Copies of this chain bind each other. A is one copy, B any other.
């Protein structure tokens, strides 16, 4: 368990991982210190003692340096839908999951600064949002399956899209929890139609 490597973890791959980690660490340090736009990729590469080309062999873009920890959120998202408690609606289950995973993350002391770096840098906020929205198709599929609807049902696509977009709504708000709950109240019960006196159809 100590010296044996059950899976062929090559010496080369270990050095590769070390270089990658050095790049990510150097990048985060420099970005937090001087600001994302004030640091060039050449600076990051130099701090990690590699060339810019090597940097781009490890990370597809400058923004990707910040989003190194790519935990599998998609599986958790789908699981929140599929393994929701009995009697819990789909929007409610999604709200529970998002409140659990996107609000209290502040166990790490350095996390607020990391979060502020992303939210305060437009290009990083965009990049993170785009990555987050990549789960839309998988989520829509799970929703459709759970609801017993067709794979490309527009309502399922809409719920998946809106549920993921809801977290973007909380950015820059003083009370993310209330915002998230209000958004999901809308998805769950609809807009309180105080103006219409007669409902149509169905």
Contact = CB atoms under 8 A, between A and B. Distances in A.
A189 B179 CA distance: 19
Given A89-B196, A191-B91, A195-B87, A186 B162 contact: yes
A183 interface: yes
Interface string A154-180: 110111011001101100010100110
* Chain A facing B: main interface SS: helix
Contacts of A169: 154, 157-158, 161
A62 to B, nearest CB: 16
Given A154-B182, A183-B154, A186-B187, A202 B146 contact: yes
A152 to B, nearest CB: 8
A88 B195 contact: yes
A155 B154 CA distance: 23
